[in-house]
Structure 1
Amino acid sequence: MEQLKKEIQEQHQLINRIRQEIAKELVGQTDLVDGLLAGILSSGHILIEGVPGLAKTSAVKALASTIQARFKRIQFTPDLLPADLIGTEIYRPKTGDFVTRKGPLFNNIILADEINRAPSKVQSALLEAMQENQVTIGDTTYVLPKPFLVLATQNPIEQEGTYPLPEAQVDRFMLKIIIDYPDRSQELDILNKSGFSVKDPVEAVMDTARIEQMAGLVRQIYVDDKLKEYIVDLVLATRQPQKYGMKIAEYVQFGASPRATIFLAQAARVRAFLQGRAYVTPQDIKIAAPDVLRHRIILSFEAEAEDVTTDEIIKTVFDFVEVP
């Protein structure tokens, strides 16, 4: 444990340097930055929801620059095809054979911009990549590079020309991060950085090999058995709220899946790592839980009619599930 603490403290300095480099491009949005770091350190995909102009794309580009990762942005549109993501086999008449041309998914960080603008056949092409870290082109399966991370953005206010994401795909996102407008001082900083001063370029802090090393440390962070039970109780409470004394069953059509249990433990570990600790606390779980659970709780018609949100359901769960 002492050796683990020492190694985490050393790596924590690099994490702070990454934050400083991203701050050259991004003002505020600390939750978004921590969420992106959580994704890259645990190989968990991230769904980012926010209105246009909140620097979602800039944050992802800055993260890719700091870790020397291969980055590719894909603009999702209604006419996008699965081959535009994974690649295809091209016939060569001169030789009479096929050659494989790999698509943009063969990079470390994929920014799926406005992911809900592509139809379901394109979304299905992402399922194998997001779950198995591999894609199949023709009869051949190709392993994707490590780390592999899908960071998807979607606009919550514009529904024209969009398609709802399949529940099976939404469940594969480790976190769903909601970002909001900056406050007054942050907006003034944004203005000063845009045209009134020269931006310092974002510099690389580490390579992907160091990220894999950090991910190994995250997997060693200690989680007490009581906290494991607490994680399980939080997830079970979304499925069977009446067993925990909550009167919200009429608002929940489906609770969180077992992936939520796994991802909540991973997210809590990353949270501890980002704080420079070798152990998880109940507060780590509480902070990580909303981003892990909000897209996995399917609300009923009654909840939609009464404007009950998933975040309100999660808050109720925290109020009723006893903290160890």
Structure 2
Amino acid sequence: MTTASAIQPRKLGRTGPAVFPISLGCMGMSGMYGPADEPESLATIHAAIDAGVTLIDTGDFYGMGHNEMLLGQALRFFREKVLISVKFGAQRAPDGAWLGYDARPAAVKTALAYSPKRLGVDHIDIYRPARLDPNVPIEDTVGAIADMIKAGYVRYIGLSEVGPETIRRATAVHPIVDLQIEYSLISRSPESKIFPVLDDLGIAVTAYGVLSRGLLSGSTNRGQGDIRNRFPRFADQNLAQNQKIVARLAEIATGKGITQSQLAIAWALAKSPFIIPVIGARTCAQLSETLAALEVRLTSEEITAIETAVPADAAAGTRYDAHQMQVLDSEK
């Protein structure tokens, strides 16, 4: 496997730090895809750090704080080796139900009073609203985070799932280092309107869903407690169609001697040096497979062939349910 020292880092936007080209997303370690194995989760985080991963992503609402506490346990002796990205603002009930978003300045600062305690740190490296709060101007939310930068509690500001106008308005208040957004072979809509704005403003992409929540890797719904129960692409009427896409991807990958997961990750890495895939590996084996994608080199001809075999509109079903697609600022 390629050593960490031989891997070219990627800049987290024009104003952010250099990071390892793949980020570890920890959401799945707190039950979002069914039960998780905590010792294996801790081992996976440690293995990622040992491999050179420097950007780790979480959210204060993942497992209602569990994910931050898990990460805090894992990073007890490794804090100086990583940058921690935290999403905030999603409101959840005790039973796990989603209640909406709150990104008022007071909510920004209240959330930030708790995350460092759970993480066991004195500051958050990248802080971002999980979604646009339709009732709060983005200027107010970003301005509140900027206040927290001045106070020493935050280092950089990121955004998540917002569109071009919101990105420009946010940047006018304070530099933004990255936009976290779903991007994969079968979720390419950001390419047309959002990516050009990011390029113009010098903002990186931390791309989640590069494997479309396991769909492109051949992963299946784990039953009760799996968030994929709510995603149309995993619904019975769509899954059979989407598995044909996976089969085409697997055929191309086999021809290169790699897995379809590695091919999908390598494709995202090859699209732009400002794209950092956020991969939700939950086990050491998944992490090892993920990191091997860094060794894959794709020519422009191969990228064209992949995109021809898997067109942007190939997937059956939208990436979120109808309600979420309607309220996502990035889809407007």
TM-score by length of 2: 0.30
Question: Which of the two has higher C-alpha Rg?
Answer: 1
With structure 1 as the length reference, what TM-score do the two structures score? 0.31
